[in-house]
Every structure is written in C-alpha cells, then in structure tokens.
C-alpha cells in the first residue's frame, strides 16, 4: 500500500513540472526526482558515482549543504527539503557554485529515510534546527521520535554519524531522552568543524545557545556485550 504522502506526490506531476520550469536547465538538474516513491534509491544514478554519502535533513536554503560539498569534494551530499521556495534556492546555489557532488530531493525527511534509503547507505546524517513545535499540543509533530531514530540507525553505515543541533532547550532534552532509550547510538567526543547554517548564524547573533550532539551508530547487541563486560562484578 502506497504511503499517503507518496500518493499525493504521484498525483501532481504537472504541478511539479511547472515548478521546475521556473529554473534554468542546470538549476533544475540539481533536484533529483525519483522514478518511484516506494522503491529504494539507486544512489549511483543520483550522483553518477559511488562515494560516501552525507545527508542534510531539512536543508533550508542550502548554505550548509553547499559549504559541506565545497569542503569535501570526495563525498556526495543529498539535501532533503519539502518547501518549494527553499528547494529552488538550493538548486540555484548548487548550480551557481557548479557543485557536482550535491543534489536535493523534495520530500518529507522521515518518509525519505524510511522508504527510499537502502540500509547501510549513509555515512553521516545532519539534522540541524528542526522545527521545535514549542506548544505542548504540537509536540506530536516533532520529527525526533523513536521510529525516526530507528530509521536513521538502519540507513547509516556501521559506525556512521548522526549530527543534531537545535537552539530549543526543551526539544534538546527530548532528543537526549529518545537517544538514551533507543540505546543504539553513543555520543562521539571527536572534534569536527561544521560550517554554520543560516539559522545558526541568526541564533548566535541573537545570543541564543546552540545545543549540539554528535552521535555514532553502534550495534545494539555488541554495545550491550561491551557494557556488560566492563561493568563491575
């Protein structure tokens, strides 16, 4: 049975073509439009090469995605964004910089991870400043759930990284609780330099604190054995 979002997207190809028609040919080519919304992506066809894949979930205007792609030409970078205006911005930015290792997929992040990514295909996920839905009655709309974390874990390579950042303290604490309960990631203490997103620059300028986690995928069974063997008798 096709997911309701997939069905909606499949029934509006004309609207999608009209949106792409507003971009120049090289800009429109940055967006990857899958032939199927229920089959795993063939990543060698998305980038025409095999290379370590990093994904920017909810990539906004593409500033972070483009900066990463410029700094790491040996990696492929796939942005996920559902808002049309932002997708156009990414397409224009990537085409202007002539980045051959960056593309974008217009879709909900959780749907793409669950239904389109092969297992063990992603080196690093970046989830930066997801909508915190601050009102309590809207907390159910937050993307960071046990199911979401499980999907991220499945799609990551062994030892892959999950980079998370938010300016919202309550959401950060929820993220910590979900990660602790899942018990399939460990906090990485490695030092990485990541370029700031447009949102991050605004938040820092306003004096807001940035809460960040760098998580490394572990095998639940293997991690449990290590913890058990290292515990005092």
Instruction: Cite the active site residues.
Output: 131
d(CA 205, CA 63): 17
In the chain, what is the greatest distance between 2 CA atoms, to the nearest angstrom?
A: 67
Residues 6+ apart with CB under 8 A from 115: 3, 6, 37, 38
Are 53 and 46 in contact by the 8 Å Cβ rule? The answer is no
Are 75 and 123 in contact by the 8 Å Cβ rule? The answer is yes
Give the CA angle between residues 5, 7, 12 to the nearest 5°.
100
């Amino acid at each position: 049975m096709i997911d309701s979002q997939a069905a909606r997207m499949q029934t509006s190809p004309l609207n999608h073509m009209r949106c792409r028609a507003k971009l120049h040919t090289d800009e429109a080519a940055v967006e990857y439009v899958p032939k199927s919304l229920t089959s795993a992506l063939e990543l060698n066809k998305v980038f025409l090469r095999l290379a370590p894949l990093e994904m920017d979930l909810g990539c906004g205007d593409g500033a972070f995605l483009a900066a990463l792609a410029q700094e790491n030409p040996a990696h492929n970078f796939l942005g996920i964004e559902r808002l049309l205006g932002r997708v156009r911005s990414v397409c224009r930015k990537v085409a202007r910089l002539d980045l051959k290792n960056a593309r974008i997929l217009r879709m909900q992040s959780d749907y793409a991870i669950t239904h389109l990514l092969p297992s063990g295909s992603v080196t690093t996920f970046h989830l930066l400043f997801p909508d915190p839905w601050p009102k309590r009655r809207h907390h159910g709309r937050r993307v960071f759930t046990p199911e979401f974390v499980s999907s991220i874990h499945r799609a990551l390579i062994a030892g892959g990284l999950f980079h998370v950042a938010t300016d919202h303290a309550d959401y950060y604490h929820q993220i910590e609780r979900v990660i602790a309960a899942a018990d399939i990631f460990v906090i990485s203490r490695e030092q990485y330099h990541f370029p700031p997103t447009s949102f991050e620059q605004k938040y820092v300028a306003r004096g807001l604190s940035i809460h960040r986690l760098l998580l490394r995928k572990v095998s639940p069974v293997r991690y449990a054995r290590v913890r058990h063997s290292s515990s005092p008798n």
